[in-house]
Every structure is written in C-alpha cells, then in structure tokens.
Amino acid sequence: MLEVANLNVFYDEFHVLHDVSMHVAEDEAVALIGANGHGKSTLMKAICGLIPIRSGEVTFQGKRLNGLSVYEIVKRGLVYVAEDRRLFPDMTVRENLDLGAYLPHARKRKSENLNLVFELYPQLKERQGQVARTLSGGEAQMLALARGLMSAAKFMAIDEPSFGLAPNLVQNMLRTIARINKEGITVLLVEENTAQLETFIDRVYFLEEGKTSYEGPLQALEHRRTEDRA
C-alpha cells in the first residue's frame, strides 16, 4: 500500500534520512522504532508531506506522493496524527471532530465515523461542547486520534501517540489503535516505548542514525538486542 524507496531528507544542510526504504502492506500495523533523534518522526513527516524530500520516492496505492502538500495527501486517504496534536484550541471538541470530516468523502461517512469515535472514547461524547484548549493531555491526544479517524482515511500515520501520557493512558491509547487497525485501517506508528507493541504490531522498522538497521517482527529485534548486550 505504501512504498518508500531510497528516501533522503535534509534539515537545511543536515542530512537526516539516508536512503531509507520501507513499505507497509494493506491492513498491516507497522511501527517505526528507535531512539530519539534518529529520524523516526522525520520519516513519517516526509511521507505525509510535512517536510520536503530531497530525493527518493514515496508512493501510496501506486501513486507518487512526492511534492504533494499535506491536504492533498489526506485527500488520497493517508492522514497524519501529530505528536503535538495540532488541535484547534478555541473550538469545541465537536467542532474539531467536524473539521476532521472536512473533505467530501469524509463528510459522507461522518455520522458513521462519529459513532465509532464516541464508542471508542465515551469521554469525548460527554465533552462535545468543551473548548479543546481546556482538555487534559490524555483527552487532547484522544481528540487528535479521533479527529484523524473522522477523515475516513484508509491509512493512519500516528506520530508518538503515547507522548507525555501516563502509563495507564498509554495502554489505553495503544489498545484503541489496535482496534482501529482491526476496523480495516492500515496503521503506521512512531513509538519509542516498545513494551506494549507486541500484542498488535505486525512488523517494526528500527531506525538508527537515519537508516533502517532492522526490519521484521518486534520479538526478533528484542532478542537480538539482548544478545548484543550479553
């Protein structure tokens, strides 16, 4: 579904991603893991059109995404959920959700998706009229994910959903993402905390210094790292 070939990304003159190649198949749940500052988020942002690509190619369902802006990529069914959430602070929860379904194809499925969102997060249903800036960190993260769901995307790129959340909330968040994946949405996840990923992630890419140094199931990577340490 998503193919990334020999991707190079620079921040000004600083070379961040070196010839990264990866792919995600339909219905898969894939995680990008690795330590902070090794390019996980950068890779995701480059795929989603938030930062420019120097060379290489990103294709989604057989079509090139390079050079398209974020909103055009959303139109094609690939939505990005930011780690810093990017909610509309002075709008209500409900207005944020409505805007999630801004595009025509999402508007057609709005009531259906709204039901799903409220089933996943009853808190958001209760707080529909509350202004987004007054939400707690956990609720804001829920709303960010929910707003992404409202766009009726086939593919969700979720950047560090556990960022800044308490451990019990992280578990809840990951469970929800697993559920979304079961609903037939392909998931690409950036995550630092791999402890709770085994249950639903099919494959991981391990990024080191802007290169993918491992691709495969999470368990095998954990195994290799334990051996390295021994």
Partner 1 sequence: MHQIIEILISGIMLGAVYALLAFGLSLVYGVTRILNFAYGAIYAVGGYLAWVLTVGYLELSYAATFLILIPALFVLGMALERLVIRPLRWKPGWKITTMMVTLGLAFFIDNANLIGFGPENKVLPPLVPGKLEAFGFVLSHHKIVIFLLAIVFVLGLELFLRKTRYGQAMRAVAQDMQGANMVGINVNQIFGYAFGLSAVLAGLAGVLLAPIHLISPFVGWVPFLKAFVIVVLGGLGSTRGTLVAAFILGIIESYTTFWVGASWTIPLWLITLLVILIFRPSGLFGGWTR
Q: Which residues bind partner 1 (CB under 8 A)?
A: 50, 69-71, 74-75, 79-80, 82, 85-91, 95, 98-100, 102-103, 106, 147, 151
Residues in contact with 12: Cβ distance below 8 Å, sequence separation at least 6, in sequence order: none
CA distance linking residue 108 with residue 200, whole number of Å = 30
Smaller CB distance to partner 1: residue 17 or 81?
81
Q: In what order do the strands lie in the sheet with 29-33?
A: 78-81, 155-159, 186-190, 29-33, 203-208, 211-216
Smaller CB distance to partner 1: residue 156 or 221?
156
Smaller CB distance to partner 1: residue 2 or 81?
81
Residues in contact with 159: Cβ distance below 8 Å, sequence separation at least 6, in sequence order: 41, 44, 45, 80, 81, 82, 83, 190
N-to-C CA span, the chain: 38
Q: How far is the CB of 145 from partner 1 (least distance, A)?
A: 12
Smaller CB distance to partner 1: residue 11 or 71?
71
Smaller CB distance to partner 1: residue 10 or 102?
102
Measuring CA to CA, how many Å separate 159 from each of 26, 31, 32, 75? 19, 10, 9, 19
Per DSSP, the three-state class of 90 is coil
Smaller CB distance to partner 1: residue 33 or 114?
114
Q: How far is the CB of 161 from partner 1 (least distance, A)?
A: 15
Q: How far is the CB of 228 from partner 1 (least distance, A)?
A: 38
Please name the residue that has the structure tokens 């996980």: 40
